[in-house]
Each structure stands twice: as structure tokens, then as C-alpha cells.
Structure 1
Amino acid sequence: MTIDSDPTPGPLRAAVLLLRAEAVALGLVAVWLIWSDLTAPTTDLTSALLVTAFAVGGAVALWALGGALARRRAGARAPAIVLQLMLLPVGWFMIEGGMGWLGLPLIALGIGMVGLLVSGPTNRALGFGDPTP
């Protein structure tokens, strides 16, 4: 039996869990969109299918990035940060559209996730920072 002498730091573990939670939430939105595509009368099927494909792709990407970060793949951090930063304008437009109850938490989630992904313990776990002599 081996004991992992270098456990996953808390901020990285939290980021992985939140990425996976975002993937599940977006996956549920994708399921609802699929249901809507199949049952709702629509005037623009192409646009509906593209939005659905975007949601499915986003859920898959979030899940995959969470897995890659769990395996400490440094290359997964930048795309994860980009996806989190995309929450900022989405949240802002939700606030502008009268859905502040959803927009503010999305903005907070995006900022918090970026903080977790660039924190010192996450940097060290992913191999960023000063190399040891």
C-alpha cells in the first residue's frame, strides 16, 4: 500500500469539485434544452440546436477540465480560467435583465473560481512557480 505524500491542496480540490458541479448544472440545462427542442414549437430550429449543442459541449468541457485538474494537468488551468471568466458578462447581462438573483452568484462563482485556480497551493500542485534548485 502506498501513501500519497503530496495530497491535493484544498483550493485545487475545491476547484475540481466546483467545475464538476458546474458541468452537472449545465448538463441539466442541456437536458432541458433537448426536451424543449423536441417538444416546443419553434420557428428557428437551427438556432435552437446550436444553443443545445453549445450547452452540451460546455458541460463536457467543464467535466473534462475538472478531471484533468484532478490529475494535475497544468494545461487545463488556462481553459478553466477562460470558462470561469465567461461567467462575468453572463452574470452582468442577467443583472441588467432583472435577474440579479442569478447574475450576482454567477459573477461571484466566476471570480471565486479564478481565485482558486491561481492560488499559491494550486500553482505549486500544478508545477507553476519557482523551480527548486
Structure 2
Amino acid sequence: MTTDSDTRPGSLRWAVLLLRGEAVALGLLAVFLIYKDLTATANDLASALFVTGFAVGGAIVLWALATALGRRRAGARAPTIVLQLMFLPVGYYMIQGGLGWLGVPLMALGALVCGLLVCAPTNRALGVG
């Protein structure tokens, strides 16, 4: 007899995959910021270290939330949705600042992950709703 080791619905699998992608992207940004912190001339070291720490922390949190959702922990859904909704104002201000090529996809990504996390198959898999 064989059993399916991954019975998560497609919506939850995609949400976890996208969250892990976000975590990796933010982690790569953090590596770049660490490089810049080590090689740049010091103008405001405290601010540079804060931004770098924020990027590292964000990558860790996104990865942890993706892992928790992958394990069907319903408590990880709400903080994940909050983080994804934060993409909307960030994307808006990127558009206003002339970075529409980055702001629009960022807003779409946040809305897509939120939609995946609140759809019926995900609700059933997490035992909510």
C-alpha cells in the first residue's frame, strides 16, 4: 500500500513555495547588504546595520512562517497575511517613486499569497473557517 506523503492542497503548496521564494530573495538582499556594510565607507553605521538586520530578520521570519504553514499550523496564517498585506503600501510607494516595474509585481505577489491563504482548500487543510 502506498500513501501520499504530501496531501496539502495546491493553494497551500503554492503559498508555501512563494513564501520560501520571498525568504530566499530577502536573504540574498541581506547578503548584498552585509557585503555593502563591510566594504562601504562608514556614513551612518548604525542605520546600515539596522537595515541589514531587518532584512536578515525578515528572511528568517518568512522562512519560519512558510515552514509552519507547510506543517499545517493554522496560527501562522494570520501573521503571514499581515506581512503580505504590507507589500501593498510598499508597492504603492515604489510606484509613486518611479519604480513601478518593481512595485506592481510586489503588490500582485502580496495579493496572490493572501488569496491563496484564504481560499477554501487552504482553510480546510489548516482547519480554519
Q: TM-score range by the shorter chain?
A: over 0.9
Partner Cα distance (1:55, 1:91) in 2: 17
Flag structure 1 segments of 5+ consecutive residues without an equivalent: none
Partner of 2:128: 128
Partner Cα distance (1:13, 1:45) in 2: 40
Partner Cα distance (1:2, 1:11) in 2: 24
Report 1:2-81 matches (<5 A). 3-4=3-4, 7-81=7-81
Q: Which amino acid aligns with 1:20?
A: R
* Structure 1 residue 41: Cα displacement: 1.1
Deviations 1:63-113 (A, max 9, x none): 011010000000000111011011111111110110000000000001111
Aligned-CA RMSD value:
1.4
- Could you tell me the TM-score, scaled by structure 2's length? 0.96
Q: Moved runs in structure 1, 4+ residues, more than 4 A?
A: none
* Structure 1 residue 7: Cα displacement: 1.0
Partner Cα distance (1:118, 1:126) in 2: 10
Partner Cα distance (1:128, 1:27) in 2: 31
Query: What fraction of aligned residue pairs are identical, expressed as a percent?
Result: 72
User: Could you say what secondary structure the match of 2:63 adopts?
Assistant: helix
Q: Which amino acid aligns with 2:113?
A: M
* Stretch of structure 1 that moved more, 36-45 or 5-14: 5-14
- Could you tell me the TM-score, scaled by structure 1's length? 0.93
Partner of 2:88: 88
User: Could you say what secondary structure the match of 1:41 adopts?
Assistant: coil
Q: Which amino acid aligns with 1:52?
A: T
Are 1:106 and 2:121 counterparts?
no
Residues 1:58 and 1:5: Cα distance change in structure 2 (over 3 Å): closer
